[in-house]
Amino acid sequence: MIFVVLLFNLIILFNFDIISRSMNFFDKPDGKLRKHKNPVSLLGGLIILINIYLIIFILNLLDLNDQIFSGQFLYIFIILNTFFYIVGAVDDISNLSPNLKLILISGSFLITVYFFPEIKLELIKISFLEKNYYFNSYSILFLLLSFLLLSNAMNMFDGINLQLILFSIFVFITFIINSFFSLFFILLSICLCALGILNYKNKIFLGDGGSYLLSSIIGCTFIYQYKYFDNYLHGDEIFIILLIPSIDMLRLFMIRSLNKKNPFKGDLNHFHHIVNNYFKNRNLTVLLTIIMCILPSLLMVIKVKTYYIFIISVIIYTSLITSLKKKI
């Protein structure tokens, strides 16, 4: 099965120029937020989605059902991923307004919940508290808000080549280490590695379709492991894994709101933009950003309490932003 997935992605990798020209789906530079010199293919999200279909088909064919979502949750996973990719792809093509994107993402999630209520969460558990917190009738609202924030955080984190791909691989490794569908995420990581090569060469972007799709994959997996695995990650531990993209999004939302701008409208004030403006080196920027993203999880591995990790990470993040901005 690894050979089949590897072969499929190698075919895409070595024939990508022909594939991209035939599909004619490009991100064209505008001199503002899109500063690349030439049109770049936006097939990244579609390639991930096709890999998901292929991997699920192979694992089902080989009767390895313990490596994929079971029951109705498999349909939830497939449908929500497809919906999120379509919304992002339409945005890539038509440049939808931020409000319309929120409506479409919300609608996609609510339609899925209506037909597959198994996605609902009954309670949330915090690692340093003994008491469980029950959602009762607020489960859908909590999950909707979580998916909206995660999809926007992932989308805003996709501002420089390799960054979102490497961060997603890091999250997948977390799933693999914790035995959450290890084989599935190993196979999916093969796809991301192939895309990483093309992305590094500036031949392909994930686009909004890819970033929304990755947020759906990660969000669904966090929910499923929380509901059905004995070695689940607590709610605060999930937040720590996603901490840096989350606090960067929160900072941008606050700055844009204070400046009376739409908090969802893009700009060049992200953490990676500030780092890149200082070092003027894309590779170093990605390396430092990913190290910053992994640091909270490493602290969690050595058993530092999550509330201390949050405080330490916010202090480091804020200090870096402040010092780098002063020196630019």
Cα gap 299→306, rounded to integer Å: 8
Number of folded domains in the chain? 1
Output the pLDDT for position 31: 57
Q: What is the pLDDT of residues 267-286, one digit of tens each?
A: 888 999 999 989 889 899 99
Cα gap 113→19, rounded to integer Å: 35
Helices (H), the chain: 2-14, 16-23, 44-61, 72-94, 98-115, 139-157, 163-177, 182-200, 207-228, 235-241, 243-258, 271-279, 282-301, 306-327
Q: What is the pLDDT of residues 193-248, one digit of tens each?
A: 999 999 999 999 999 999 999 999 999 999 999 999 989 999 999 999 999 999 99
Output the pLDDT for position 37: 65
Q: Is residue 295 situated within a structural domain?
A: no
Q: Is residue 51 situated within a structural domain?
A: yes
Q: Is residue 165 situated within a structural domain?
A: yes
Output the pLDDT for position 39: 87
Nearest one of 167, 152, 160 to 277, comparing CA atoms: 160
132 contacts 86 by C-beta, under 8 angstroms: no
Weakly modelled stretches of the chain, pLDDT under 70: 30-37, 327-328
Q: Is residue 130 situated within a structural domain?
A: yes
Output the pLDDT for position 91: 93
Taking the model in full, what pTM does it have?
0.94
Q: Is residue 285 situated within a structural domain?
A: no
Output the pLDDT for position 2: 86
Q: Is residue 164 situated within a structural domain?
A: yes
166 contacts 290 by C-beta, under 8 angstroms: yes
Q: Is residue 242 situated within a structural domain?
A: no
Output the pLDDT for position 261: 85
Question: By residue range, what is the domain housing residue 109?
Answer: 2-230
Output the pLDDT for position 25: 87
Q: Is residue 280 situated within a structural domain?
A: no
121-124's contacts with Cβ under 8 Å and 24+ in sequence apart are: 121/223, 121/226, 121/227, 124/235
Output the pLDDT for position 36: 58
Could you tell me if residue 95 is left (phi over 0), alpha (psi between -120 and 50 degrees) or otherwise beta? left
